[in-house]
């Protein structure tokens, strides 16, 4: 991951804002596919795994792993929906209207914004603590001369 100074330098030189993919990677630790799925879910609701495999041209297991990471971070919702209800809300038609499937959508943007603020605040406080205690870090060496 790029250092903060490198990211700021790039932003100044390129005169553009911090891209969402970098933001999601930096604060949430998301990889590219997870960031893309999350961005898609921010704009679309009631999305199935199969919808996402078609959009991103990825296998189902990759999409499911990305969805699990996002769900574990508590930034998306997973809901069970009847196929009949899905047919009524979707452009795609499922022929067998008996049964259920899982659909996904991002949580409310205000909730996500609050979560990102909280994570960033905690990170900032921990970095300030490291900086304030910098002298004690240099007093601590592990084997082979590496700092702990």
- Residue labelled with tokens 């700021």: 8
First to last CA, the chain: 20
CATH of 4-107, one of 1.10.10.10, 3.40.50.300, 3.40.630.30, 2.60.40.10: 1.10.10.10
Average pLDDT over the chain reads 82
Distance (Å, rounded) from C-alpha 148 to C-alpha 146? 6
pLDDT score recorded for residue 11:
58
pLDDT surpasses 90 at 66: yes
Q: Is the pLDDT of residue 105 over 70?
A: yes
DSSP letter, residue 104:
E
CA distances from 10 to 3, 22, 38 (A): 11, 12, 24
Q: Which carries the bigger pLDDT value, residue 143 or residue 136? A: 136
**Residue 12 pLDDT > 60:** no
pTM for this model (two decimals):
0.73
Question: For residues 98-128, b (16+ Cβ closer than 10 Å) or e, as one string?
Answer: eeebebbbbbeeeebeebeeeeeeeeeeeee
Query: Nearest 5°: phi and psi at 110?
Result: -65, -35
Domain ranges of the chain: 4-107, 109-148
Task: Find out whether 6 and 39 touch, Cβ atoms under 8 Å.
Answer: no
pLDDT of 18 higher than 60: no
Mean pLDDT of 42-51: 92
The predicted-structure confidence for 79-102, as pLDDT tens digits, reads as follows 998 887 777 777 666 666 778 889
Query: In the predicted model, what is the mean pLDDT of residues 43-71?
Result: 95
For residue 56, which of 77, 42, 39 has the smallest C-alpha distance?
39
Mean pLDDT across the stretch 7-29? 67
Residue with tokens 């205000």: 110
């Amino acid at each position: 991951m790029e250092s903060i100074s490198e990211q700021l330098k790039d932003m100044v030189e390129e005169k553009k804002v911090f891209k969402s993919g970098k933001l999601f990677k930096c604060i949430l630790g998301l990889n590219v596919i997870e960031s893309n799925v999350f961005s898609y879910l921010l704009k679309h609701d009631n999305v199935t795994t199969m919808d996402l495999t078609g959009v991103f041209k990825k296998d189902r297991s990759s999409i499911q792993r990305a969805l699990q990471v996002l769900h574990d971070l508590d930034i998306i919702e997973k809901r069970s929906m009847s196929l009949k209800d899905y047919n009524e809300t979707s452009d795609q038609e499922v022929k067998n209207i008996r049964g259920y499937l899982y659909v996904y959508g991002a949580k409310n943007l205000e909730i996500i914004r609050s979560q990102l603020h909280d994570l960033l605040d905690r990170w900032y406080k921990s970095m300030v603590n490291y900086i304030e205690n910098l002298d004690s870090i240099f007093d601590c060496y592990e084997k082979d001369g590496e700092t702990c």
